[in-house]
Structure 1
Amino acid sequence: MWVVYALLSALFASLTAIFAKIGIKGVDSDLATAIRTVVILILAWGIAFFRGGISSIGSLSKFNLLFLVLSGLATGLSWVFYYKALQLGNVSQVAPIDKLSIALTLILAFVFLKEPLTTKTLIGAGLIISGTLVLIWKA
């Protein structure tokens, strides 16, 4: 089932780039990010409320909260820079560079989470990096 969720994530991430590029015309990128964040805030809390996730909020440890806050900060900074890049560049070039996060995540997962860095993982990361270079190369 995780594959279905991952594919849906990819679909909505691609729509995010398209909708953002259309919506950001003539708009300050920081304001656009703030509007997007409010929508996500309402959506996420709504889902947590209606699916019963809020009831477990008291069981979060300080450790959980610390890393969830750090994750939120990283996400927020990612969005700020992504929207600025979309405002200044082409979606067809910005989106592939943004997806370099996949290769970086594989490396960081090896360093910090001790996840295996196999030959298959290295080849995949290399292909992602190579593909990104091909897509952003201006002829």
Structure 2
Amino acid sequence: AKDTVALKNLNNSLFRLDLTHSINAKNISANEVELRVGRLPVSVEGDDDFVNIADVGFGVSQVLPIVVALILAKPNQLVYVEQPELHLHPRAQVEMAKLLAEAAQRGVQVVVETHSSLLLLTFQTLR
């Protein structure tokens, strides 16, 4: 049940960042899992719009570990993130700032190294 909640949070976060509508794992063998990412925009219902994570944009592969770390972090755990804004559209940068702030509000110790004035401005406007 906890894994289901974490996956739902991951999918919601990636959708907020406008990177994908869903991510899932496809068993390849007993020891291998392929991460598959849903393409945006979604085309006709029923189409297999999922592609291997290796075949998606650099932004998704860079953001995924950050979002997973933020979701799984417990209160008082430290999450250090270097330049989370890289390869993200400005709207996605604003959403990334909100995700970082939400983790901090849950008690996660979030340390961010950034060169993005947009990220900093978003932090300043959040309450």
Q: Does TM-score exceed 0.5, indicating one fold?
A: no
Kindly indicate whether structure 1 or structure 2 has the higher relative contact order, using CA contacts under 8 Å at least 6 residues apart: 1
The alignment's TM-score, normalised by the length of structure 1, stands at: 0.27
| Higher relative strand content | 2
| Higher relative helix content | 1
